[in-house]
Structure 1
Amino acid sequence: MNHLDALLMEIVESPDEDHPRLVFADYLEDRGDPRGEFVRVQCELATGGCSAARQRELELREADLLAAHRAEWIAAVPPALAEAVQFRRGFIEHLRAASPLLTEHADAMFRVAPTLSSIDLDCTGYRDVELANWRHSLRITELSLRGVLSLEDLKLLGRSRYLPQLRSLALLRVPLAVAGARELAASTGLKGVQTLRLDQNALGDAGVQELAAMKNMPRLTSLRLFGNEIGTAGARAITLSPRLGSLTSLSLFANSIGNAGVQSLAVNASSVRLRELDLACTGISNEAAEMLASSRLLQNLKLLDLRINFLSRQQEESLIRQFGDRVLLRTFPNGFPFRNSHGDEQGHGSTPLVK
Structure 2
Amino acid sequence: MTPRFAPPSPLNPDLLALLASCRSAPADDTPRLVLADWLEENADVSGLPSADDARARAALIRVQVELARPTSDVGRVAQLQSIEQRLIAVHSERWLGTLARRFFELGHRPFGFAMHLTTTTPPVYSFEPFSPRNRWRFTRGLLSIELAAGEQRDLELDAWFSSPLAAWVEGASITLGGVAALERLSAGAGLRPYLGVRYAVGATAFPTLRNVRPEQEEMTERRCKRLLRSANFALVRELTLYGPAVEVGFPRMMAGARATGVRRLTVKATLSDTDAAFLASAPLVNLSALDVSATELTADGMRFLVESPHLKRLVSLSAYRNRFGCAGLVALAESPLANTLNVLELQNTGIGNRGVAALAQSPILGRLNGPTLNLSMNGIGNAGVQALAACEHLERFTELVLRACSVSNVGARALARSPHVCNLAYLDLWNNRVGDVGARALAGSPHLEDVRHLSVRDNNITAACARALRARFTDRVRV
- Using the size of structure 1 for normalisation, the TM-score is 0.65
Question: Is the alpha carbon distance of 1:304 and 1:69 closer, same or farther for their aligned partners in structure 2, counting shifts above 3 Å?
Answer: closer
Question: Quick check: 1:123–1:129 contact (8 Å CA) kept in 2?
Answer: no
Question: Is the alpha carbon distance of 1:53 and 1:160 closer, same or farther for their aligned partners in structure 2, counting shifts above 3 Å?
Answer: same
2:321 is matched with 200
Task: Provide the aligned length of Structure 1 versus Structure 2.
Answer: 319
1:13 is matched with 20
Equivalent position to 2:251, from 110, 120, 127: 127
CA distance in 1: counterparts of 2:177 and 2:443, whole angstroms: 48
Question: Quick check: 1:95–1:120 contact (8 Å CA) kept in 2?
Answer: no
**Does 1:247 find its partner at 2:365?**
yes
Aligned to 1:121, what secondary structure does the other structure show? strand
2:281 is matched with 159
Equivalent position to 1:273, from 393, 403, 407: 393
CA distance in 1: counterparts of 2:151 and 2:280, whole angstroms: 27
Question: Is the alpha carbon distance of 1:238 and 1:39 closer, same or farther for their aligned partners in structure 2, counting shifts above 3 Å?
Answer: closer
Q: List runs of 5+ in structure 1 lacking aligned partners.
A: 31-35, 83-88, 332-337, 347-351
CA distance in 2: counterparts of 1:282 and 1:327, whole angstroms: 21
**Does 1:322 find its partner at 2:322?**
no
CA distance in 1: counterparts of 2:347 and 2:301, whole angstroms: 16
Question: Quick check: 2:380–2:405 contact (8 Å CA) kept in 1?
Answer: yes
Question: Is the alpha carbon distance of 1:343 and 1:156 closer, same or farther for their aligned partners in structure 2, counting shifts above 3 Å?
Answer: same
Question: Is the alpha carbon distance of 1:105 and 1:294 closer, same or farther for their aligned partners in structure 2, counting shifts above 3 Å?
Answer: farther
Matched to 1:70, the amino acid is N
- Please tell me whether Structure 1 or Structure 2 has the larger radius of gyration of its CA atoms: 2
**What do residues 126-180 of structure 1 show as CA deviations (whole Å, max 9, x unaligned)?**
639959623423xx2x54443333434423433344424x444332112111221
Question: Is the alpha carbon distance of 1:134 and 1:231 closer, same or farther for their aligned partners in structure 2, counting shifts above 3 Å?
Answer: closer
Shift of 1:92: 5.1
CA distance in 1: counterparts of 2:416 and 2:86, whole angstroms: 40
- Using the size of structure 2 for normalisation, the TM-score is 0.51
1:289 is matched with 412
CA distance in 1: counterparts of 2:9 and 2:183, whole angstroms: 25
**Does 1:178 find its partner at 2:256?**
no
Range with greater deviation from structure 2 (195-204 or 309-318): 309-318
CA distance in 1: counterparts of 2:330 and 2:378, whole angstroms: 15
CA distance in 1: counterparts of 2:322 and 2:259, whole angstroms: 26
RMSD value over aligned CA atoms? 5.1
Question: Is the alpha carbon distance of 1:105 and 1:6 closer, same or farther for their aligned partners in structure 2, counting shifts above 3 Å?
Answer: farther
Aligned to 1:70, what secondary structure does the other structure show? coil
Question: Is the alpha carbon distance of 1:162 and 1:251 closer, same or farther for their aligned partners in structure 2, counting shifts above 3 Å?
Answer: same
Aligned to 2:447, what secondary structure does the other structure show? helix
CA distance in 2: counterparts of 1:172 and 1:255, whole angstroms: 15
Q: List runs of 5+ in structure 2 lacking aligned partners.
A: 1-6, 23-31, 68-75, 90-127, 138-143, 153-166, 198-235, 467-474
CA distance in 1: counterparts of 2:266 and 2:297, whole angstroms: 14
CA distance in 2: counterparts of 1:303 and 1:94, whole angstroms: 38
Pairs within 5 Å for 1:46-61: 46=64, 52-53=78-79, 55-56=81-82, 58-59=84-85
Question: Quick check: 1:188–1:216 contact (8 Å CA) kept in 2?
Answer: no
1:33 is matched with none
Question: Is the alpha carbon distance of 1:279 and 1:108 closer, same or farther for their aligned partners in structure 2, counting shifts above 3 Å?
Answer: farther
Instruction: Calculate percent identity across the aligned residue pairs.
Output: 20
Pairs within 5 Å for 1:327-338: 328-330=453-455
Question: Is the alpha carbon distance of 1:112 and 1:192 closer, same or farther for their aligned partners in structure 2, counting shifts above 3 Å?
Answer: closer
Matched to 2:134, the amino acid is R
Equivalent position to 1:340, from 456, 459, 472: 459
